[in-house]
Amino acid sequence: MITIKDISRKCGVSPSTVSRALADSPLLPKTTKTRIQRAAEEMGYVKNEMATSLKTGVRRTVGVVNFVGQNLGFAHYLFSEILNGFSTYINDIDYDILLISDKTLQMGENLIPYLKSKQLGGVLILSGYYDSQGLRQLIGSDIPVVVVDPREEILLSMADCVSSDNFSGMYELTSEIISKGHKNVVFVTGEDYYVTHERVKGFKKALADNAIPFSDQMIVRGNFYNLSAVADNVLKILSYDNNPTCIIFSDDYCAVNAYEVLRSKGLTVGQDISVAGFDGIEMGKHMSPRLTTVVQDAETMGATAAKTLVDRMNGAEKSDTKLIPTGLFLTESVKDLN
Amino acid sequence: MITIKDISRKCGVSPSTVSRALADSPLLPKTTKTRIQRAAEEMGYVKNEMATSLKTGVRRTVGVVNFVGQNLGFAHYLFSEILNGFSTYINDIDYDILLISDKTLQMGENLIPYLKSKQLGGVLILSGYYDSQGLRQLIGSDIPVVVVDPREEILLSMADCVSSDNFSGMYELTSEIISKGHKNVVFVTGEDYYVTHERVKGFKKALADNAIPFSDQMIVRGNFYNLSAVADNVLKILSYDNNPTCIIFSDDYCAVNAYEVLRSKGLTVGQDISVAGFDGIEMGKHMSPRLTTVVQDAETMGATAAKTLVDRMNGAEKSDTKLIPTGLFLTESVKDLN
DNA sequence: CTGTTAGCGCGTTCAC
DNA sequence: GTGAACGCGCTAACAG
């Protein structure tokens, strides 16, 4: 490993001059700067980040908390895509990403000192679905934190948050479904989190705006990215007296599985019953009929989270929750009853 | 941030004594060691890893190269699960994981110095599907590397590799299918990688052992975790003169989509045509009929990769490729023709 | 403009 | 058994 000292010897200057040249300090004349920079380049110099961070107390590294084992861990479609977008942005600005296990957040009082010892510039919580004492500690500390899809509304006022505009997305989807003549729509939600609350609000507002009375039966509690209850929920809905014409699922993964369940009951999606999902996963595009869905822009969510985090690290004040617009993808999986 | 110095003052000893106590050095009497250790604990001391690594030249951190954007990035089921297993093991031994973008591997001659500057103890390649100049450089360097599912066979002799026992898994699956009376089976492979080669070998051996002649038509080139060609491949197979009775896909993700394609052609899986997959993803369990598959033990693959990497970091010699046993899950998606 | 000095927190000599 | 001293690679303060 070649160090700043080696370069200084080679160039006949002092180590600090090399340090300045490498930092592109305005104090040095261009000629010497380029001379030193080129020498460093030639010698294959790469700075020892440990030394820098030991000196400066900060590191070009951010932590990402993911919840391995819960709802598929890294295999969770949406969060994985968000992480893709996040890491692209972070790597572009030459930062690194350190994975932080969810267990870490459960370590108790030493959590903050522990994280500080890692000299992280900031932390991304992916996702806040997993609320905890540890998350609160982290948010309460002076470590910049960005939360994607926070679990509880209260986090919105405590930390920088990024989320899809679930309210509008669901409102638009429901409105379109209603405009196709559906009056008896059932929404199978995910867990009782902020994201779900927003979607339920959007759902109800669309009903209200179209003068369709709401009944409790129209909301069925399901789970995000978990197929274990899909079949039961579908069967329950099919048993309703009023014969619902459309079922909306809180994610495409469950919706795709619902095709399967419905077919096993002899029902054809898009004919006998309509189905819609949420997220916009690849599998939905390959169903027949192709799945109607609200597309979450995961790439933008990730990039926005990254940008927000970097801004915070650079001293920006807490910003308002960033709502990323969703897209609507309407197909024949929702039948036109008109 | 509280340092070793603070503790030394508090305990009335020198910093080096504290350092020794914390390292559990045998030079110190137990009494002083525990006294100091407890003081450190109480004061909420956490060691500054930057300082340690600057001093020792190594860090309790390993890198993970993942290929964001290729075949779903983190959303790739199998690699995500492997990463789950890997990170669980790594975190348990109190190491950290640094994400390394695939772009990094393309940086050219400075790659090794760059990685060394990060002081990584080792690197996991997840996966070797993406072969490259950079990967070769890395393997040729003195940085410990473990490759999961290497792309080319030659890597097996160059680096520590971990993979499922694809040959046996495929052999068993095919044998079982044959024992159910299928003589005309088509295997839709993934890309032309090591993993695929092994599976093709297992497939062919099962045919041979059962005296079923092999024909080129029985192998169709597909793609891993990519639905774009599934429909075309299925249609192609359906057009065969000899009416194949069973199709094996190289991953469950594609197999699940094939259900869809087959149904749109009026065919019922498990009745008119049999289908099997590979991997053992959740979705397959919720299909009707439930999908026959070869289950890859991703958790064990990840943990094995972690253990292998740690061993290498601790000076072990390159070991032989570790083949993780697969499981066979046979269901009515493969019809009994006897 | 540039060199000298000091020190970030820790581990490891080497003395005592 | 323990403390003093040094240095890992880098940067910041202070000189000049």
Residues B75, A75 contacting (CB under 8 angstroms)? yes
Residues A288, B267 contacting (CB under 8 angstroms)? no
What is the distance, to the nearest Å, from the Cα of residue A70 to the centroid of all Cα atoms in its chain? 15
Q: How far apart are CA B337 and CA B272, in angstroms?
A: 11
DSSP letter assigned to residue A93: T
DSSP letter assigned to residue B322: E
User: pLDDT tens for residues B248-298?
Assistant: 999 999 999 999 999 999 999 999 999 999 999 989 999 999 999 999 999
- Pairwise pLDDT comparison (B235 vs B106), residue with the higher score: B235
User: pLDDT tens for residues A257-287?
Assistant: 999 999 999 999 999 999 999 999 989 999 9
A4-25: average pLDDT: 92
Q: Which residues in chain B are closer than 8 Å to A44, comparing Cβ atoms? A: 109-110, 113
pLDDT exceeds 70 at position A325 = yes
Residue in chain B lying closest to A63 (CA) = B98
Helices (H), ranges, B246-297: 252-264, 282-285
Q: Is B73 left (phi over 0), alpha (psi -120 to 50) or beta?
A: left
Q: Which residue, chain included where needed, has tokens 């969060």?
A: A79
For domain B61-164+299-323, give the CATH superfamily.
Response regulator (3.40.50.2300)
Cβ-defined contact of A44 to B109 (cutoff 8 Å) = yes
At B75, the pLDDT band (50, 70, 90 cuts) reads low
Q: Going by DSSP bridges, is the β-strand pair B274-279/B292-295 parallel, antiparallel, or unpaired?
A: parallel
- Pairwise pLDDT comparison (A129 vs A138), residue with the higher score: A138
At A78, the pLDDT band (50, 70, 90 cuts) reads confident
* Fold assignment, B166-296: Rossmann fold (3.40.50)
Domain ranges (residues) in chain A? 4-47, 61-164+299-323, 166-296
Give the model's pLDDT for residue A129. Answer: 66
Contact with chain A for residue B59, Cβ under 8 A? yes
User: pLDDT tens for residues B151-208?
Assistant: 999 999 999 999 999 999 999 999 999 999 999 999 999 999 999 999 999 999 999 9
pLDDT exceeds 90 at position B334 = yes
Among B165, B9, B282, B129, which Cα is nearest to A251's? B282
User: pLDDT tens for residues A304-313?
Assistant: 999 999 999 9
Q: How far apart are CA B136 and CA B111, in angstroms?
A: 11
Give the model's pLDDT for residue B129. Answer: 66
B7: amino acid identity, one letter: I
Give the distance, in angstroms, between residue A40 CA and nucleotide D16 C1': 27
At A67, the pLDDT band (50, 70, 90 cuts) reads low
Domain B61-164+299-323 and domain B166-296, same fold? Reply is: yes
Give the distance, in angstroms, between residue B97 CA and nucleotide C4 C1': 39
Whole-number percent of chain B with pLDDT over 70: 96
User: pLDDT tens for residues A220-259?
Assistant: 999 998 899 999 999 999 999 999 999 999 999 999 999 9
pLDDT exceeds 60 at position A86 = yes
Residue in chain B lying closest to A285 (CA) = B227
Give the model's pLDDT for residue A128. Answer: 61
pLDDT exceeds 90 at position B116 = no
Give the model's pLDDT for residue B165. Answer: 98
Q: Which residues in chain A are closer than 8 Å to B1, comparing Cβ atoms? A: 113, 116-117
pLDDT exceeds 70 at position B69 = no
Give the model's pLDDT for residue A131. Answer: 64
